[in-house]
Amino acid sequence: MAFMSAVRSRRERPAKPALSREWIVAETIKIMRAEGLEKVTMRRVAQALDTGPASLYVYVANTTELHTAVLDELMGSLRTDATDKAAMEGWRAELHAVLHAYSDVLFTYPGLARSALVLRPTGSNALRLYDRILALLLDGGVTAARAAWGVDLLLQRVTANAAEHSKPAIDEAPADVECDTDGLAAGLRGVDPSIAPHVAEHAEELLSGTPEQRTSWAIDALINGIASTPHPLEGAHK
């Protein structure tokens, strides 16, 4: 009996679900998780939904709008309220936790970070994250002016980092260039001292640390810089 179901073409699911914006977004996320954002094309989504690409345009204006909707949807899965542990350790630990959670989402969906960097997420879920980070900086005693400009810096760093380092999906040239840190490390260690003397001298420092150590340090550096750097529109008195 079981093998017969393969023959009942295009009626697998009972009464193919009515198309809707929500359904399209959900299917898009499923494909993105499995195959990366670059595989999420109008045609690919339509195929997964058992229809033609034209049908999607009834619910989404274009590819960019679809990506934006997906991004905001995923940001909704983010818990911006603190874990108990982080809350006990103070605002700084909470900030690390929130940014780490955001970073995790970006790394989970290959390609998502790249689009987040350009799309300027503006949905309510993105706004919530924005608000949470701002609140934590203010909690930490950072001036409102500095905190306001600082939020961008923190989110941009996390997003850009994910965009740089998240795998470009599944398929890639395997052996022609040593994929990640290896190739870079070799390149950096063997650098010509006559064209980049300082890089050559400090190759070890440039390559040191785990990604977690570097990320954590970067966030601290950002927080410290934000908190301590005078804001040009801030009353010079005080």
Partner DNA sequence: ACCTGAACACCGTTCAAGT
The residues that touch a copy of itself, with contacts defined as CB under 8 A, are: 114, 117-118, 120, 122, 124, 127-128, 130-131, 134-135, 138, 144-153, 156-157, 159-161, 163-164, 168, 184, 187, 191-192, 195-199, 202, 205-206, 208-209, 213-214, 216-218, 220-226, 228-229, 231-233
Q: Compute the least distance from the CB of residue 97 to a copy of itself, in Å.
A: 18
Q: Compute the least distance from the CB of residue 72 to a copy of itself, in Å.
A: 13
19 binds DNA (CB under 7 A): yes
Which residue type sits at 213? Q
CB 105 within 8 A of CB 77: yes
In terms of CB distance, is 66 or 97 closer to DNA?
A: 66
What CA–CA distance (Å, rounded) separates 223 from 220? 5
When CB distances are held under 5 to 8 angstroms depending on the partner's kind, the choice from a copy of itself, DNA, none that residue 63 binds is DNA
When CB distances are held under 5 to 8 angstroms depending on the partner's kind, the choice from DNA, a copy of itself, none that residue 181 binds is none
Which range in 60-68, 96-104, 123-131, 220-228 contacts DNA by CB under 7 A?
60-68
In terms of CB distance, is 6 or 176 closer to a copy of itself?
A: 176
Give 158's contacts (C-beta < 8 A, 6+ positions apart).
Answer: 99, 102, 103, 106
When CB distances are held under 5 to 8 angstroms depending on the partner's kind, the choice from DNA, a copy of itself, none that residue 175 binds is none
Residue with tokens 């970070």: 113
CB 38 within 8 A of CB 111: yes
Q: Which of these, 169, 181, 178, lies nearest to 214 by C-alpha position?
A: 181
| Rounded (5°) CA angle 47-52-58 | 115
224 binds DNA (CB under 7 A): no
48 binds DNA (CB under 7 A): no
When CB distances are held under 5 to 8 angstroms depending on the partner's kind, the choice from DNA, a copy of itself, none that residue 43 binds is DNA
Packing angle between helix 211-228 and helix 91-108, nearest 10 degrees? 130
Q: Compute the least distance from the CB of residue 192 to a copy of itself, in Å.
A: 8
- Alpha-helix runs per DSSP H in the chain: 21-35, 42-48, 53-56, 63-76, 84-89, 91-108, 112-119, 124-139, 144-165, 181-189, 197-201, 203-207, 211-228
Report, in angstroms and rounded to the nearest whole number, the Rg of the chain calculated over CA atoms: 23
Q: What does the block give as tokens for 181?
A: 């840190």
35 binds DNA (CB under 7 A): no
216 binds DNA (CB under 7 A): no
In terms of CB distance, is 50 or 165 closer to a copy of itself?
A: 165
Contacts to DNA by CB under 7 A: 18-19, 39, 41-44, 51-55, 57-58, 62-64
